[in-house]
């Protein structure tokens, strides 16, 4: 009853002051104006969350690169419904973060969400609204700044940089041949799942989707996170090598990583590959610092982190693994299947490090080894082992074999860190950057068009190539890197 009363007041007040929006039923104008007023207040207080994109005509939706790439495939009512479900869920998560981050808040989140729900329900069956969405051609801008490349004489800079990039790749590859030393192991609690159940989940999801978009339930995705949770081995030299929890320090009025609370941050995404859409499980680790290797290390500084992304095929089996640091640097791609092979290098764009890794049939057990200090991937292995074969959490085992449990946290928590006040604060600013993570390397890498190169970035803002233009969340990213094996 409370929500209905508040909603009635919203409709009454908004109807007296709002501009009529064409395409919607008259009784929804109040809700539309109320959501518009909320977004306006969010912008006024400068707490906009930029992980996803908004458009003023659709304050109940949010967009990312993937959602906009799907528009071309929406041909049926069921496709349209799935698209609206996806973009409205993006908006719901963003709305919660922005609501919690408001310093002065006169809104009611339940009313805002209820308004959004009824607007989405209407939009699913309203051709005029859909036509307006297509007409607006909402697109996510890239993370490169052209003017930096112009003033940085990019055509010349890229020629100079190519040899340095190749040299750095060789250095990283050498790390794969060096045995890790004194590692500590971490893992999100691993669970067992019948492979037949996983295949059934994907089969049902694909049967429902006329566009071949495998949208699983939240519970199913949650179980997959644990089923495929990697064993994380980190060369342990200091507290900088412990994957911790990101917290806001009230006494310092700034965020930091707490190594006394090992954690892993999760989210899921989707990618398109040769006409098919695949589910991706994302595992993010955060470290307090990238440890300096000398008295002058332009890559060192506060915060560091690694994002591991596992792409699953339509049976729920590992297809591809790729990784970046949270700055967007060091993109690595691991081909896990014989169905694909790597493409030839594309001119005028930087190629990531490419690896072939065979996955034993039915295996869900994989491990990643990170170097100390700079947290570079040194090893990726897949094994067919029984649950807990390597997870010695009980006493009586050697200390170096003990696996430390990782607390499971939602990546969305980074968009709304608790403070000592009545509101939360985002880890990232309104440019999608983590301000306290700047690196000295940006003073000489700016000609490549990436602002504050080396700084940690929010999802949706990971430029992953200095030469050329490429983003980590590009819907068809892998089509530039791999091709189907000819029968």
Residue of 385 and 183 predicted with greater confidence: 183
Query: Could you tell me if residue 434 is inside a domain?
Result: yes
Taking 70 as the threshold, does the pLDDT of residue 390 lie above it? Answer: no
- The CA distance from 481 to 95, in Å, is 35
pLDDT per position as a tens digit, 245-292 = 999 998 888 999 999 999 999 999 999 999 999 999 999 999 999 999
- The rounded distance, in Å, linking the Cα atoms of 256 and 265 is 15
Among 136, 167, 190, residue at a domain's last position: 136
Angle between helices 109-124 and 77-101 (to 10 degrees): 160
User: Is residue 101 domain-shared with residue 154, that is, in the same domain?
Assistant: no
Query: Which of the 8 DSSP states describes residue 299?
Result: T
- The tokens of 150 are what? 């112009």
- As a whole-number percent, the residues of the chain with pLDDT over 90 amount to 82
What pLDDT is stored for residue 401 in this prediction?
Answer: 65
DSSP H helices in 421-463: 442-445
**pLDDT value at position 12?**
43
Distance of CA 125 to CAs 69, 330, 411, Å? 21, 44, 32
**pLDDT tens digits for range 211-258:** 899 999 999 999 999 999 999 999 999 999 999 999 999 888 899 999
Q: How confident is the model at residue 345 (pLDDT cuts 50, 70, 90)?
A: confident
**Claim to verify: residue 124 and residue 237 sit in the same structural domain:** no
The predicted pLDDT at position 19 comes to 46
Confidence of residue 452 (pLDDT cuts 50, 70, 90): very high
Please count the structural domains in the chain: 2
Taking residues 399-420, what's their average pLDDT?
90
Across the range 184-189, mean pLDDT stands at: 97
Nearest by Cα to 314 from 479, 200, 221: 200
Q: Looking at residue 252, what is its pLDDT?
A: 83
368 contacts 232 by C-beta, under 8 angstroms: yes
Whether 164 and 112 map to the same domain: the answer is: no
112/260 same-domain check: no
Residues 63 and 162 in one domain: no
394 by Cβ neighbours in 10 Å (0-12 / 13-18 / 19+) ranks as exposed
Query: Is the domain of 196 the same as that of 282?
Result: yes
Alpha helices in 237-318 (DSSP H): none
Q: Which domain holds residue 150?
A: 146-484
Does pLDDT of 312 surpass 50? yes
Residue 9: per-residue pLDDT: 45
Between CA 202 and CA 217 the distance in angstroms is 10
Q: Quick check: 340 pLDDT over 60?
A: yes
Average model confidence (pLDDT) for the chain?
A: 91
**Residue 42 domain-assigned (yes or no):** yes
Q: What distances in angstroms separate CA 262 from CA 3, 188, 232, 242, 465, one per listed residue?
A: 40, 10, 11, 7, 30
232 inside domain: yes
Residue 177 binned pLDDT confidence (cut-offs 50, 70, 90) = confident
Which token pair is 403?
């696996």
Pair 124, 207 in one domain: no
Q: What is the pLDDT of residues 459-483, one digit of tens each?
A: 999 999 999 999 999 999 999 999 9
pLDDT tens per residue across span 81-92: 999 999 999 999
For residue 45, the tally of other CB atoms under 10 A from its CB is 15
Tell me the pLDDT tens digit for each residue of 96-136.
999 999 999 999 999 999 999 999 999 999 999 999 999 99
Mean pLDDT to the nearest integer, 194-208: 96
> Is position 388 within any domain?
yes
Q: What percent of the chain has pLDDT over 70?
A: 92
Same domain, 51 and 154: no
Neighbours of 189 (CB within 10 A): 14
Is the pLDDT at 385 greater than 80, yes or no?
Answer: no
pLDDT of res. 15: 43
pLDDT of residue 250: 84
Same structural domain, 108 and 183: no
* Residues 6 or more apart in contact with residue 167 via CB below 8 angstroms: none
In this prediction the pTM is 0.93
The beta-strand segments (E) located in 34-193 are 183-187
- Does residue 25 sit within a domain? yes
Q: How confident is the model at residue 400 (pLDDT cuts 50, 70, 90)?
A: very low
**Is there a domain that residue 141 lies in?**
no
Residues 479 and 452 in one domain: yes
Domain end residue (candidates: 136, 160, 179)? 136
Is the domain of 123 the same as that of 193? no
**Could you tell me if 98 and 195 lie in one domain?**
no
Residue 72: the pLDDT is 87
3-state secondary structure 233-248: EEECCCHHHCCCEEEE
Containing H/E element for 5?
Answer: helix 2-17
**87, 117, 136 — which closes off a domain?**
136
């Amino acid at each position: 009853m409370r929500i209905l009363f508040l909603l009635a007041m919203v409709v009454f007040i908004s109807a007296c002051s709002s501009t009529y929006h064409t395409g919607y039923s008259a009784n929804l104008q109040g809700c539309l104006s109320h959501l518009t007023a909320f977004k306006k207040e969010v912008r006024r207080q400068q707490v906009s969350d930029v992980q996803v994109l908004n458009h003023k005509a659709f304050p109940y939706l949010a967009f990312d690169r993937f959602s906009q790439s799907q528009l071309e495939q929406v041909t049926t009512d069921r496709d349209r419904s799935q698209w609206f479900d996806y973009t409205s869920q993006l908006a719901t998560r963003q709305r919660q973060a922005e609501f919690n981050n408001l310093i002065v808040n006169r809104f009611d989140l339940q009313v805002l969400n209820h308004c959004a729900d009824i607007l989405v329900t209407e939009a699913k069956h309203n051709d005029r609204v859909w036509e307006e969405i297509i007409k607006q051609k909402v697109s996510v801008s890239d993370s490169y700044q052209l003017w930096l490349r112009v003033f940085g004489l990019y055509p010349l800079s890229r020629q100079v940089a190519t040899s340095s990039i190749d040299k750095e790749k060789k250095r990283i590859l050498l790390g794969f041949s060096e045995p890790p030393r004194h590692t500590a192991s971490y893992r999100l609690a691993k669970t067992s799942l019948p492979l037949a159940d996983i295949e059934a989940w994907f089969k049902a999801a694909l049967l429902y989707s006329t566009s071949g978009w495998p949208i699983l339930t939240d519970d199913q995705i949650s179980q997959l996170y644990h089923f495929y949770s990697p064993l994380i081995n980190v060369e342990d030299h200091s507290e900088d090598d412990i994957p911790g929890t990101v917290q806001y320090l009230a006494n310092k009025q700034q965020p930091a990583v707490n190594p006394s609370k090992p954690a892993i941050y999760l989210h899921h995404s989707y990618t398109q590959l040769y006409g098919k859409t695949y589910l991706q499980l994302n595992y993010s680790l955060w470290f307090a610092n990238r440890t300096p290797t000398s008295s002058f290390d332009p890559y060192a500084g506060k915060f560091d982190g690694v994002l591991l992304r596992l792409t699953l095929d339509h049976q729920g089996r590992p297809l591809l693994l790729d990784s970046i640091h949270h700055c967007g640097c060091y993109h690595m791609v691991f081909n896990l299947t014989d169905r694909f092979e790597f493409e030839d290098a594309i001119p005028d764009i930087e190629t990531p490090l490419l690896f072939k890794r065979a996955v034993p049939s039915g295996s869900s057990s994989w491990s990643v080894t990170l170097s100390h200090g700079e947290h570079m991937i040194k090893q990726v292995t897949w094994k067919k082992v029984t649950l807990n074969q390597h997870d010695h959490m009980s006493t009586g085992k050697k200390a170096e074999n003990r696996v430390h449990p990782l607390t499971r946290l939602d990546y969305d928590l980074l968009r709304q860190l608790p403070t000592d006040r009545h509101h939360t604060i985002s880890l990232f600013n309104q440019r999608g950057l983590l301000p306290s993570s700047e690196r000295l390397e940006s003073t000489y890498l700016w000609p490549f068009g990436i602002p504050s190169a080396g700084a940690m970035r929010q999802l949706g803002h990971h430029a992953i190539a200095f030469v050329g233009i490429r983003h980590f969340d590009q819907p068809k990213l892998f089509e530039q890197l791999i091709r189907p094996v000819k029968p």
